[in-house]
């Protein structure tokens, strides 16, 4: 059974940090890119960051560059998203997703349509 399980969300004050985890199982982890997406209340889901499992390349959306780091622990089949200097506008449900590397139009694509497996999400709330 394919599973992506996010954890690490919570309530944090502005300026704080969180490290989100995405634990994957049930598929060949190395054959997939992992992306982090988020959906704020009343807004569409957007891609935040992604990591290519083939070459380790990463991508960050402009609004989080310098504040977010994506990393991967191969031994644990887990991808992390560390978010620093949190802002109230970072409040959202954060999802991780896995997309077959061969199907992505770039190794770190954040096109939702190219992602096959999705986790249930973890809530991040940033208070001002």
Beta bridge partners of 122: 94
Q: What is the structure's pLDDT at 58?
A: 96
Residues of the chain under the 50 pLDDT cut? none
Q: What is the structure's pLDDT at 55?
A: 84
**Widest CA span of the chain, in angstroms?**
42
Nearest to 72 by CA among 87, 88, 51: 51
Q: What is the structure's pLDDT at 28?
A: 87
Sign for the CA dihedral angle at 4, 23, 108, 103 comes to: negative
Q: What is the structure's pLDDT at 42?
A: 95
Strands (E), 32-121: 32-39, 46-51, 58-60, 68-73, 78-83, 92-100, 117-118
């Amino acid at each position: 059974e394919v599973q992506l399980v996010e954890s690490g969300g919570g309530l944090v004050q502005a300026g704080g940090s969180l490290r989100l985890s995405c634990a994957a199982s049930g598929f060949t982890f190395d054959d997939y890119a992992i992306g982090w997406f988020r959906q704020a209340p009343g807004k569409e889901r957007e891609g935040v960051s992604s990591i290519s499992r083939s070459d380790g390349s990463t991508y960050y959306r402009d609004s989080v560059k310098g504040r977010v780091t994506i990393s991967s622990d191969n031994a644990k089949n887990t991808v992390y998203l560390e978010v620093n200097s949190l802002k109230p506008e970072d409040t959202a449900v954060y999802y991780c997703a896995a997309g077959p590397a061969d199907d992505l139009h770039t190794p770190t694509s954040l096109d939702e349509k190219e992602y096959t497996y999705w986790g249930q999400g973890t809530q991040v709330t940033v208070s001002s």
